[in-house]
Chain A
Amino acid sequence: AQTVTQSQPEMSVQEAETVTLSCTYDTSESNYYLFWYKQPPSRQMILVIRQEAYKQQNATENRFSVNFQKAAKSFSLKISDSQLGDTAMYFCAFMIQGAQKLVFGQGTRLTINP
């Protein structure tokens, strides 16, 4: 069974700082997708970034970027120039290509302080 582990239950940084959230996963498959979802206090789930395992280039979306290390099965999220609106739960998720279902980690609660 595939598992996703987020080892940091909570993190807190000052506004404008850079923060990195960790995620590791376990699978024997070679074709899969990885995701970071954000859940702000409204509890609406929002896709932050998506990575295909076959792509060596790390995905980026504005201030959000990932460090994808396939051999180490690691998928960390870096948030640059953090803003108060980045305060949220962040979930790492994994999906085998063709499997049609995502497996989520336990989440990291990130607080951005003014």
Chain B
Amino acid sequence: DGGITQSPKYLFRKEGQNVTLSCEQNLNHDAMYWYRQDPGQGLRLIYYSQIVNDFQKGDIAEGYSVSREKKESFPLTVTSAQKNPTAFYLCASMQRGATNEKLFFGSGTQLSVL
């Protein structure tokens, strides 16, 4: 079945540690996204990529980094510079130019600080 796979489901970070969240899609979509969701709040865009080897900052990129070396993969690294990383992270993808453009989402990763 086509879809987006995020791993791990739960992740714990120690102080000063970088952690990487995985996102893989087999939908053959060009564009991929990372959103952050805090309790009781909406989704805020961290980074997005419309094509391999290119990505753009979203609204809250500070303390995060990404790469897009393959069309299928868009990992997110939460660096030690992100002082409040506890949140639910959602990866999404979309096919550019489709007649009914819409976001497809993964099942999310809950990141907590130890």
Q: How far is the CA of A29 from the CA of B103 in the complex (A)?
A: 20
Instruction: Flag whether B96 is at the interface (Cβ < 8 A).
Output: yes
Contacts of A37 in B (CB 8 A): 103
Q: Is the CB of A104 within 8 A of B102?
A: no
Q: Which residues, 62 to 109 on A, are CB-close (under 8 Å) to B? A: 91, 93, 95, 100-107, 109
Indicate if the CB atoms of A50 and B100 lie closer than 8 Å. Answer: yes
Interface core residue of B40, B43, B45, B96 (most chain A CB under 10 Å) = B43
> Which residues of A lie under 8 Å from residue B101 when comparing CB positions?
33, 95, 100
Task: Please state if B42 and A91 are interface contacts (CB–CB under 8 Å).
Answer: yes
If A35-B102, A47-B103, A106-B41 touch, whether A101 touches B33 (CB-CB below 8 Å) is yes
A101-B45 in contact given A43-B88, A45-B90, A50-B102 (Cβ < 8 Å): yes
Return the CB mask of B81-101 against A: 1 if under 8 Å, else 0.
000000010101010100011
A100 touching B105 by the CB < 8 A rule?
A: no
Report how many residues on chain B are interfacial, defined by Cβ distance under 8 Å.
24
The number of residues on chain A lying at the interface, defined by a beta carbon within 8 Å of a beta carbon of chain B, is 23
Flag whether A44 is at the interface (Cβ < 8 A). Answer: yes
**Most chain B C-beta atoms within 10 Å of own C-beta, residue among A43, A45, A93, A95:** A45
B107 within 8 A of A: yes
B50 within 8 A of A: yes
9 A-B residue pairs with Cβ-Cβ distance under 8 Å, sorted by A, are A33-B102, A44-B108, A91-B42, A100-B96, A101-B45, A106-B41, A106-B42, A107-B40, A107-B42
Please name 12 further chain A to chain B contacts, defined as beta carbons within 8 Å, in addition to the given A43-B107, A104-B35, A107-B40, sorted by A numbering: A42-B107, A44-B105, A45-B103, A95-B101, A100-B48, A100-B50, A100-B101, A101-B45, A101-B58, A102-B45, A104-B43, A109-B40
> Considering the complex of A and B, which 10 residue pairs feature the smallest CB-CB distances, nearest first?
A45-B105, A104-B42, A104-B43, A106-B42, A107-B42, A43-B108, A44-B107, A100-B31, A105-B42, A47-B102
